[in-house]
Structure 1
């Protein structure tokens, strides 16, 4: 393995000069700098990332920001991004931001210093102002940051309308919604889709919409309160599958039979939705496809001199499972 001394000898300079070139610290004339860079490249001097960024201005590194790595949706999304980045010889960095704006900004600043080539960001709090000094391409995933930033999303509102109409089709007459965080645009659109289909119903009450914040425990508690106060509710559309699992848990604790007394549908299509009891019906996102497409768009933008804003929206698809078996089906058993 080459050493800094080997580089210095080949470039006919001191090790201090090599260090100054690598760290961009102190003055080195252009001719000397060129010889040092050529020696680094020829010897493949470690660290390779530093050498690569010196010659190509790139780190071959892509970062993915997610708000909550404990939500099973995001590891599934991250796997797709990682697969595409690795196939294209990029290093993949996963940043769990906890939905904390200060943490996001710290990550942005630290990764910019490491010459990260691009960012894929799942965020509802980062704005154009936060990102105006970022020199690398950005793709928003799952949520839209700005009309000037490329994004990959799904048709949340239409998918939610389909979810509610499906509950009606299996016999539900009073349908409630466990909503995601108020500041998250996909949660807002899912709630809007729900309201599109129920707000004109005679039975609808604003109390039928409660927050579960995309969290299992919060959704469980919200569902217990909702069902205790409104025992006539016979259908619940949960804004994501994690909350759907919380609703199933709440129903079991209240001795409410699913789907006999209550039909439950989620949104996302995470693997966990197949493994809860009863298995959760869901409006399934093509999780792998949207993660992969975001990575493909980002790599295209990294390699291209023209930065065309791309907006891609995927469809969700009903995946019917035991939590919403049609009432006539349940009566047969």
Structure 2
């Protein structure tokens, strides 16, 4: 007796998926506020959140509002932004292995940010001749300098990887991965060189933060810029959902349908670099969020970007909040950099994706 054929599995409605992810995000946020070296009952956490910041919350109120709330909010913003950036990069290069970290965008942003931080910190020890210029740089680094340098580094890295991967007129998975790895090595060497030349042992921990990522330094007064960049960038990219869908048909197909693929890709590269650069300026380089989350979201809701982008944003926020929760509780009272946790999860996932893509391309596995 033969089994009846079954059609492809029906995908759940996007509204249902968004509702489930929103509930998961709320639960992850409550867990992030409740768990840590000092554990606070979830019911008391909700009471403190509803009461708002103020002296009436006592010690628990100070922990929730001054320490954990900024960290949770930054984690949600960064996770959502990296997932959105990864989704768009995968459409731009038509490769599901694309990711802000693997393509060097995060490493470039980190290198730019570290360069400005180290040079700015050197203003206090500069001689009289250069004290004025370095003092101005230090003030710039404390304001818009770090996000600006991170943006410049992110964009330069993406452009370099894309140019190397496109040499010869075609882009393959192997060439894309090799170009991204090469750029990452160069930028890591540049970061190390800057640290050695700075000769400031107290800056080692800061550079470690930039290379491995972390949310522990989140401050309430620094959340406005990354949140605004995420909101504006996601809104613009969602508005560009149809051109992004057209890119999936290839450059010739997109051109036939009226899209100037070259100009569109360049403009979106700049926008993605801005989003990644600003986010990494506040979180350091956190890898694999933009690789895993878009792939999982695509399996649930399909490849149409109008549905895919919001699902990826919520999924990225949930994933990074859970990764950060593991990072600060798994080895308590010590804290693991959150980038280590995402790499431990994302490394095997990347190898699985690479093996799958090489089989698709007919290359030896």
- The TM-score, its normalising length taken from structure 2, stands at 0.30
The structure carrying a bigger strand percent of its residues is 1
- Larger Cα-atom Rg: 1
The structure carrying a bigger helix percent of its residues is 2
Q: Taking CA–CA contacts closer than 8 Å with sequence separation of 6 or more, which of the two structures ends up with the larger relative contact order? A: 2
- The TM-score, its normalising length taken from structure 1, stands at 0.32
